[in-house]
Amino acid sequence: MSAKALRDLNTFPGSEKKTEGSSKGCFMKPFTENETENIDKWQKCIPTSVTCNASTAEVEIGNTGLEAAGSEIEYIESENLNDLQDVDTNLNTLLSRLDSKDWVSVCEALNHVRQLSIFHKETMVPMLGNVVSLTVKSLKNPRSAVCKTAIMTSADIFKVYKDGIIDSFEPLLMQLLLKSSQDKRFVCEAAEKALTTMTISISPTLLLPKLQPHLKHRNPRIRAKASMCVCRSVLALGSEGIKAYGIDKLIQVAASQLSDQLPESREAARILTLELQSVYEKSYLPLIQTTESENLKSESWESFCQAKLSPLSAQAILRVTASAREENLILGC
């Protein structure tokens, strides 16, 4: 991977800031987070004899109707999680708790998934598909605490199981792309972090085919997040991996995103284009220029792009690489 591509990749949008509250103890703490965007909707739906405290956004179903909960979930970083004391009991009840109607129980179960994954990886393998499906269900939950805990659970599943989740992976990917594209900042940032973990943990050759359909999604924000993931995943391939995967395939992916609506997509495509050019010129041109085989002929980067792309797409790609050359000349690189 070129040093310039690495530098450019670090400028991608998204925050890696630590989430609030890191404790090794209980998952619950006094409610402090202000999440009031849905209070009006709740108040319209509840009976007149039941009241909802507008200072709290977490509401749960009780025996007498809707009650404002007095606590929230504490978001604990992976490195601060402790092992479970009663592994067998938690494992045996895990799926039923993940599917519970009690949001506090669901969040606790999601954190137990994280602990079991980290400290007892093999015990969860037989039920991993069901765990992933129920984690996807929690990602769809409108309650922010459940959604964010599910996002953090997804990241830990990526770290631990890596390629082992690829068969049940697609619904999880779709939800993380959706959450990273929404306006609620702390959920969006957590989802972006999980997507970055995904591109680090899962083999690019398995991940890229799953990502590429999302580059054509009708939502430009989702296309942008997918473009960034594709770029990171291709960079993770390295020179030999890029050649094995096929520069001709990847240059078409880059070209399709250079004219996309959002700047994040275009920037990801630009970084990808420059990396592909670097790999091509370092790997193929010396071989072509020194071979005596009649089947190979000297082919410049420009000729390669024109042969593999439509005229408009080739023009867009070459404009990016020509501009980069000019910048390097100006900077004396």
Q: 187-203 pLDDT, tens per residue? A: 999 999 999 999 999 99
pLDDT value, residue 188: 95
The number of helix segments (H) and strand segments (E) in the chain equals 16, 4
Q: Is residue 13's pLDDT more than 60?
A: no
Q: Is residue 37's pLDDT more than 70?
A: no
pLDDT value, residue 283: 84
134 contacts 101 by C-beta, under 8 angstroms? no
pLDDT value, residue 32: 38
What percent of the chain has pLDDT above 70? 72
How many residues in the chain? 333
Query: What value does the mean pLDDT take over residues 19-23?
Result: 37
pLDDT value, residue 21: 37
pLDDT value, residue 61: 31
At 244-287, the pLDDT tens digits run 999 999 999 999 999 999 999 999 999 999 999 999 999 877 65
Q: How far is CA 278 from CA 200, 235, 327, in A?
A: 22, 12, 15
Residue type present at position 11? T
What is the band of 333 on the pLDDT scale with cuts at 50, 70, 90? low
Task: Return d(Cα 210, Cα 204) in angstroms, integer.
Answer: 10
Q: Is residue 48's pLDDT more than 60?
A: no
58 contacts 86 by C-beta, under 8 angstroms? no
pLDDT value, residue 290: 53
Task: Return d(Cα 281, Cα 287) in angstroms, integer.
Answer: 10
Task: Return d(Cα 154, Cα 139) in angstroms, integer.
Answer: 9
Q: Is residue 180's pLDDT more than 90?
A: yes
What is the band of 327 on the pLDDT scale with cuts at 50, 70, 90? confident
Domains of the chain: 75-202 (1.25.10.10), 204-287+299-332 (no CATH)
At 25-35, the pLDDT tens digits run 345 543 334 44
pTM for the predicted model, two decimal places:
0.77
Q: How far is CA 240 from CA 106, 236, 329, in A?
A: 44, 11, 28
Q: Is residue 112's pLDDT more than 80?
A: yes
Task: Return d(Cα 333, Cα 277) in angstroms, integer.
Answer: 16
Classify 293 as helix, strand or coil. coil
- Bridge partners of 29? 72
Q: At what angle do helices 128-139 and 144-161 cross, to 10 degrees?
A: 150
Count of CB atoms situated within 10 Å of the CB of 240: 10
Looking at per-residue confidence, does 271 or 36 come out higher? 271
Task: Return d(Cα 197, Cα 260) in angstroms, integer.
Answer: 25
At 160-174, the pLDDT tens digits run 999 999 999 999 999
Looking at per-residue confidence, does 46 or 8 come out higher? 8
- List the structure tokens of 282: 């370092």
- Bridge partners of 28? 73
269 contacts 227 by C-beta, under 8 angstroms? yes
> Most distant CA pair in the chain: distance in Å?
88
* Mean pLDDT taken over the chain: 81
Q: Is residue 330's pLDDT more than 80?
A: no
156 contacts 114 by C-beta, under 8 angstroms? yes
Q: What are φ and ψ of residue 65, in 5° steps?
A: 125, -135
The residue behind tokens 């980290």 is 118
Burial class for 32, CB neighbours closer than 10 Å (0-12, 13-18, 19+): exposed
pLDDT value, residue 1: 55
205 contacts 245 by C-beta, under 8 angstroms? yes
Burial class for 183, CB neighbours closer than 10 Å (0-12, 13-18, 19+): exposed
Q: What are φ and ψ of residue 208, in 5° steps?
A: -60, -45
pLDDT value, residue 45: 36
271 contacts 231 by C-beta, under 8 angstroms? yes
Count of CB atoms situated within 10 Å of the CB of 191: 29
Classify 100 as helix, strand or coil. coil
pLDDT value, residue 293: 52
